[in-house]
Amino acid sequence: MFKNIFILVLLLTFSCISNEKSDKLILKSGDKEVLTYNAAYIPSPKKDAPWFGRSGFIHPVKTPNGNVVTTPFPSDHLHQHGIMFAWTSGRIDGRKVDFWNSKRLEGKIEHVETVSASDSKIVVKLRHIDIKADNQVAINETWEITKVDHPTLNVFELKSTQIPVLKNGVDIAKYHYGALCVRSINGFTAVTSEGKDRLKGNHSKPDWVAWIGEVDGKDCGIVGIQHKSNFRYPQAVRIHPKMPYFCFAPMVDGAFKLEYSKPYVSKFRFIAFDGKVNKEEINKIVKDFNK
């Protein structure tokens, strides 16, 4: 008996250690993958445009049936990567620094360290770099990615804690998009908690946004939910009129400042599902998230 217990503990320990050292950190529900966090730098698919390479993002996100509902390096916007967090309208000492549009070579985001990783929770560190200021670090960030148990859906949470390390902090100018982004599948369409489509929903303030469509002829989708503790809750959302991405974008309502050494905390919950979107079930999960 004791020998069997020892072997079980050894196997669990090895599983945790191997995940922590992996370039791809995977959350699982049983033996099925829920998502992958990419710790390794993935080169740009275009050799003549290396600035699109990236680490520190979530992809793929999978439904319980294994359908992938996120996209990295989409050909129309190579700088969008599954689930990512980047400021578009940053200002450092009055100088514009765009961490989102990597082609501008103003800012970039990269994975730094895996703190811990298991099948149910991943904790990692990232940094936001000011390229034109000799690659100085502007923001240190920690992600906590946690699986949420659910009998029929793949549900997980992302808690982002950003701490500016420059004395004057980082200013975020008013802009129409930026921050937490979900890039889904071409051909998917949007619906919000208020029943609005991608056009009417743009810059509205819903509890959640869903991208819904078909993968291999099967209905599926992904939902992003914002937490009531987030800055400027409910945050406005940017929903692109043609491409399948949205972001929770607090800068839509005006400029603000990320202050030196003061944590900026954001919490989000995501649902990957098969079949048609179930608003009643999503709203139950929203209520649980915000209780």
Q: What average pLDDT is seen over the chain?
A: 93
Side chain identity at residue 184, one-letter code: S
**Sign of the torsion formed by the C-alpha atoms of 88, 161, 291 and 268:** positive
Rg over alpha carbons for the chain, rounded to the nearest Å, is: 19
Mean pLDDT on 2-9: 39
Q: What is the pLDDT of residue 21?
A: 60
Report whether pLDDT(2) > 70: no
What are the distances in angstroms from CA 48 to CA 43, 98, 103?
Answer: 11, 21, 11
CA–CA separation, 1 vs 5, rounded Å?
6
CA–CA separation, 177 vs 14, rounded Å?
42
**pLDDT confidence tier of residue 19, bands split at 50, 70 and 90:** low
CA–CA separation, 182 vs 144, rounded Å?
17
Quick one: which of 132, 232, 112 has its CA closest to 178? 232
Report whether pLDDT(7) > 70: no
**pLDDT confidence tier of residue 20, bands split at 50, 70 and 90:** low
pLDDT tens column, 207-216: 999 999 999 9
Q: Note whether 139 and 128 are within 8 A (CB).
A: yes
pLDDT tens column, 135-184: 999 999 999 999 999 999 999 999 999 999 999 999 999 999 999 999 99
Q: Which segment of 69-83, 89-103, 126-140, 217-231 scores lowest on mean pLDDT?
A: 69-83
Q: What is the pLDDT of residue 8?
A: 36
Give domain limits for the chain: 2-289
Report whether pLDDT(12) > 60: no
Cis bond upstream, residue 60 (ω within 30): yes
Q: Which segment of 9-18, 50-59, 177-186, 280-289 scores lowest on mean pLDDT?
A: 9-18
Q: What is the pLDDT of residue 195?
A: 97
**Cβ atoms < 10 Å from Cβ of 161:** 15
Domain 2-289 in this protein, CATH class: mainly beta
Cis bond upstream, residue 43 (ω within 30): no
Quick one: which of 15, 90, 57 has its CA closest to 258? 90
Report whether pLDDT(283) > 50: yes
DSSP H/E element including 283: helix 279-289
Mean pLDDT on 6-23: 47
Copy the structure tokens of residue 207: 């509890």
**Cβ atoms < 10 Å from Cβ of 219:** 15
Whether the pTM exceeds 0.85: the reply is: yes
What are the distances in angstroms from CA 178 to CA 18, 147, 275?
Answer: 34, 25, 30
